[in-house]
Every structure is written in structure tokens, then in C-alpha cells.
Amino acid sequence: MGIVLSHTTARAVYQTVNSLASHATDPISMEKIKVSAPTTSNLEAARAWLNRKNVDSESIHVLTFSNNAKRHRKGCICHCTRYTFDAESYLELEPNVYIVDIKLCALEATADLNLSELVEYYFEICGSYALGTSDETQYRERPALTSVEELRAFFSEASGYRGSNKALKALSYVREGCRSPLETAFVMMLTMPKSMGGLAIRAIKTDYPIPVPKRYAALTRRTVFYLDALLENSMTDIEYNGFYHDEPEQQSIDEERRNTLRNMGYAVITVSRHSFFKQSAFRRVMEAIRIREKIWPGRLPDNFAILQETLRQFVLRRYFEYGRRVLETLKEEEAAKREIASQYPQADDPSINDVPEPDDMQHVGALAEEINGPWECDMFAKIDENRTEDDTIIDLIENSLF
């Protein structure tokens, strides 16, 4: 008898443990899986393993296959199913501690993620990055855990499993190969349905290799280009420029790339961080893509602008939430400084002359100058009557994270 980690706990494990998705074990007897139950000893063993891997073990989600195997124990959440799948859907972490494989984990995610969250999660496990579990804005590079084709085949075979239709629907909006959460965020703006604010572009490939023909070899130092997002129907390359594109040498390489691709017949649309985070700039970029793809305005919902902005806010929510937290901290620090300053005479306050002692005078004057001088914070220095709080948040995001 053992214990099978699943659902939220399994997702956290795959986000944290680098090589687990390719973890190979000897064939597991399905009898062991079917009789698994969260006994006290099994829970202790699972919790010890999770702690060694720095995975949250306060609430452990486990899979059981009969109501009799369910246990009401503190820190244990049981998910009961009669759909056992096959032995390949489970991995052994250590004796009597098992975990659902990444494909079954992806299917189980339909239980607690909405459609947009599910699409985002499938992008992640089919991409070469993993979001952190403690800091939502941080991610690390790692090989893809699975592929769109593997997931589609698995979901199709599990047609009787609750959530399989939802999983297949979400997967239809996913493209594999994204290298960062921001690449995923932008591609979602292109692939999600129009009713949810996307452009519903189907003919799109991500991280797509394009060999450079010999006749254009003199234009670039590269022999192959990897396109962030290729819109096949309009032969348009959508490039998301991260922070390293600001380097002079990289700018030169990018210019070579654009010139070569244009000579090869591709249009190039560049998306910068600023144009993604700034609503007005983002709308202009999306309008350029809409025109290239010949998506006529009449085919869009009447409230499409609202739907599109709602989707943009969703895919960038981690960054906006981070910016708001930083802004709130800065405001609190500024309020504290002003409170301290209000307790001392100002440098130009005539009442200072009422203090006779030279030492006190020097002390108060120096303190007032220190407190009431210009506050060295670029974010607030940039604020003027034409700027909104969102502008300040965007500046904070770009300066703090990139």
C-alpha cells in the first residue's frame, strides 16, 4: 500500500523538481496504485520527500480509487476516482510514494483551473520555463515537460474522465516552445477565442526554425532564425523583445535579422515590453497584427476592446500585482518620511530661531535638510498631472523586473 500525489501537490512538484517529468522507473504494479491510501506512515513519508525537494507540504493532495481508501486527516486532501489509467501514468518517487505523471497531472488541473488558467498552464508545461511557486514573477529555464501532441493523445484516450473535454478545448489554444511567461502571455493574446479577447489565430507556430537561404547568407551571421511566433497565413514574424535586446550587439543582430527576413518575404512586427504593458501602445500592435491577418472588424464582438483588455490584464496579472505591491510599499515609506518630517521644524521655519542652543540648532537644521530634501525615487519624480497610477506601476515593473 502506498500514496499517490496528485492535483495541486503534483503541479507544485513538477514546477520545482527539474528532472521529474523524464524520471524513469521500473514498471509499477497497478495493484499497488489501486490500493493506495493516505495512511499516517504514507503521509509522513510523502511529507518528508516534499520537504527535501522544497515543495509546500502543508496540504497534500492525493489520489484514491475507492471511497474506502479516503482518509480524513489533517493536511490531507483526497481526490477519489474510479478511472485508473495505466501504469505509465504513475511514477515512483520512493518506496510507497508515487505521483501522477505530467499528462495526468495536466488533466487533473481541469478540476480547479478555469479555461484561461488552464491554457496558461499548458503553455508552461509545453514550454521551456517553469514559474516559481514562491515569487510569481520569477521563472527558471528547463526543458519542456511534455508536448501538445502527447497531451492531445492522452486527453482523447481519457474521453470518459471528467474534464477531458475542457482539457481538449484549452489545448486547442496552446502552442509549444514558448521560452518565458511573457512569450506565453503574448501568444495567448493571438490564439485565445475572440469571445475571450484573443484574435483566434490558428495557423501560428512558436519557436519556429527558418533556415536562411544561401543567397541571403551575406545579410546575416545566422544560418537559421528561430521565430517567436510565425503567423503562417500572412507570413508574419512576431518578435517579443526581452531585456537582452537592449544590448548594442543584440540590437545589431536584431537589425540583421529583420532585414534578412524582409528580403525572404516575411513581415516583422516587434513587441517591446513597454508596448505590451502600456494599453494604448498594445492596441496599436494588435491592430497591426489584425490587419496583417485580415481579420475584419465586423468579425469581432461589439465589446471586443473590453474583452481584449480583460485578457491582457489576465495574462499580465502577476506583473501588475507585483507593481502594485511595490507602489504601495513606496507610498507607505513616503508617508512615514513625511510623518517624521512633520515632527521637526522645516528648514525655512522662523520658529527655528526660538531654539537658543547652537548644538540643537545645528542638529535640527541638518535633520530638516535631510528629511525635507528631494526624495530620490525615480518613479515619483516622473509623476506629473498627465500620468496615471498605472503609468507609475508600469515604470516600477520595467525598472524592478527587467
User: Tell me: the pLDDT tens digits for 52-111?
Assistant: 998 999 999 999 988 766 667 788 999 988 888 888 899 999 998 999 999 999 999 999
* Domain termination residue (choose one: 57, 85, 102): 102
pLDDT of residue 362: 45
Is residue 195 pLDDT above 80, yes or no? yes
Specify whether 74 is located in the same domain as 9.
Answer: yes
Is residue 22 pLDDT above 90, yes or no? no
Specify whether 392 is located in the same domain as 299.
Answer: no
Average pLDDT over every residue of 285-292: 96
pLDDT of residue 21: 57
CA-wise closest residue to 99 among 166, 169, 17, 162 = 17
Query: In which element (H, E) is residue 398 found?
Result: helix 389-401
pLDDT of residue 359: 47
Specify whether 360 is located in the same domain as 307.
Answer: no
Specify whether 287 is located in the same domain as 376.
Answer: no
3-state secondary structure at position 35? coil
Specify whether 311 is located in the same domain as 344.
Answer: no
Q: DSSP letter string over 309-353? A: HHHHHHHTHHHHHHHHHHHHHHHHHHHHHHHHHHTS--TT-GGGG
Domain contains 239: yes
Is residue 325 pLDDT above 60, yes or no? yes
Q: Is the dihedral of CA 144, 149, 154, 155 positive or negative?
A: positive
pLDDT of residue 295: 97
Is residue 316 pLDDT above 80, yes or no? yes
- DSSP single-letter state for residue 6: -
Percent of the chain with pLDDT over 70: 79
Q: Which of 68-72, 226-230, 323-327 has the highest mean pLDDT?
A: 226-230
Specify whether 306 is located in the same domain as 209.
Answer: yes
Structural domain span for residue 90? 3-102
Specify whether 296 is located in the same domain as 353.
Answer: no
Specify whether 356 is located in the same domain as 309.
Answer: no
Is residue 374 pLDDT above 50, yes or no? no
* Domain termination residue (choose one: 102, 127, 154): 102
Average pLDDT over every residue of 373-395: 55
pLDDT of residue 348: 58
Domain contains 157: no
pTM reported for the whole predicted model: 0.82
* Domain termination residue (choose one: 83, 102, 121): 102
Domain contains 151: no
Is residue 284 pLDDT above 50, yes or no? yes
pLDDT of residue 227: 93
Is residue 399 pLDDT above 90, yes or no? no
Q: In the structure, what pLDDT confidence band is assigned to residue 386 with cuts at 50, 70 and 90?
A: low
Compute the mean pLDDT over every residue in the chain, rounded to the nearest whole number. 84
Domain contains 39: yes
3-state secondary structure at position 304? helix
pLDDT of residue 172: 98
Domain contains 172: no
Average pLDDT over every residue of 127-149: 85
Domain contains 107: no
Angle (CA) 11-15-17 rounded to 5° is 110
Specify whether 296 is located in the same domain as 350.
Answer: no
Specify whether 256 is located in the same domain as 295.
Answer: yes
Domain count, the chain: 3
Of residues 365 and 355, more confidently modeled: 355
